Structure 1
Amino acid sequence: MTELQRIVSALQASGMTVEPVEDGALVRNGESRVALFADADPAGGVIVRLHLDLDLYVEEDALPDILMGMNLLNQGLDYGALNLDPVTDEDEDEDSPLTFAVLGRAVLWLRDLGAGELDRLREHLRRFEAEVTEAVERTLHGSKGLSA
């Protein structure tokens, strides 16, 4: 059983909704879905990467303002960070402005896959999703909203 399979089984056994997909898993919490990927660390332990798609997209010309806002948001996050990933569309021509997706990302190193470390992963998952979602929603719906 791979590290990912063991993590998926443990999360499902604890009552979390987890669906294996291609090379990772989707952890569902309400309407949000955190993609989880796990790999053995050559130095020992397991590296777990978390990705939260926020369904926010930014055009290239808005990057200066967005980057400043994301930097401020990232300073307040303890369980992850906001990143921009370019969205590629093969049908667009080369002169079209780039579009970027705003994603929440986190990386967690687990010493092993024992009960204590899996509890730490569950707590990290819960806090990562809640913290990133809350920070973005507060910014978008607050008086000083992030404009995309």
Structure 2
Amino acid sequence: MTAPQSELQRIMDALQESGMTVEAVEDGALVRDGETRVALFAEKDHQGGVIVRLHLDLDLYVEEDSLPDILMGMNLMNQGLDYGALNLDPVETDTEDDDVPVTFAVLGRSVLWLRDLGRSELDRLREHLRRFEAEVTETVERTLHGSKGMSA
């Protein structure tokens, strides 16, 4: 008798069967679509179902002294997002120097609750994953390449 598959493994298998490139990393999975890589984490919800967290690293970094302008711009961008949100995470540094400004990475994040891991819920996850990546990437690119940049 084999042990039941984890929620994460079942999701990874379903995404691979639908043609997506998926690889296991530490406690999650990396879903690749062209040049884009979305980190996916899944855990059983204690009230039933599965919670899926998506993280999209945008390779954008912000210095501490730019935070007021960046936060205002991110707030405006987040208002137009339906499938995720932009967040700032402090970047770990090797230095203990308090005078060095903190750098933040700009990340796209999304959370999706699945009722179960049946076909219709996995289809909903695939669509959410596709839309999340497209929406966040498009919003950031449009803002960065637009005439006003990230200024609010």
Query: 2 CA distance for matches of 1:140 and 1:82?
Result: 14
Verify: 1:9 aligned to 2:13, yes or no.
yes
Verify: 1:38 aligned to 2:28, yes or no.
no
Verify: 1:142 aligned to 2:146, yes or no.
yes
Instruction: Tell me the residue number matched to 1:116.
Output: 120
TM-score (norm 1): 0.98
Structure 1: state its 5+ residue gaps: none
Determine helix, strand or coil for the equivalent of 2:94: coil
What residue identity is the alignment partner of 2:76?
Answer: L
Offset at 1:92?
Answer: 4.8
Instruction: Tell me the residue number matched to 2:24.
Output: 20
Determine helix, strand or coil for the equivalent of 2:111: strand
Moved over 4 A (4+): none
Within a 5 Å distance, the mapping from 1:16-95 to structure 2 comes to 16-95=20-99
Determine helix, strand or coil for the equivalent of 2:16: helix
CA RMSD of aligned residues (A): 0.8
Structure 2: state its 5+ residue gaps: none
What residue identity is the alignment partner of 2:18?
Answer: S
Segment drifting more, 84-93 vs 37-46: 84-93
In percent, how many aligned pairs have the same letter? Answer: 82
What residue identity is the alignment partner of 2:134?
Answer: A
TM-score (norm 2): 0.95
What residue identity is the alignment partner of 1:3?
Answer: E
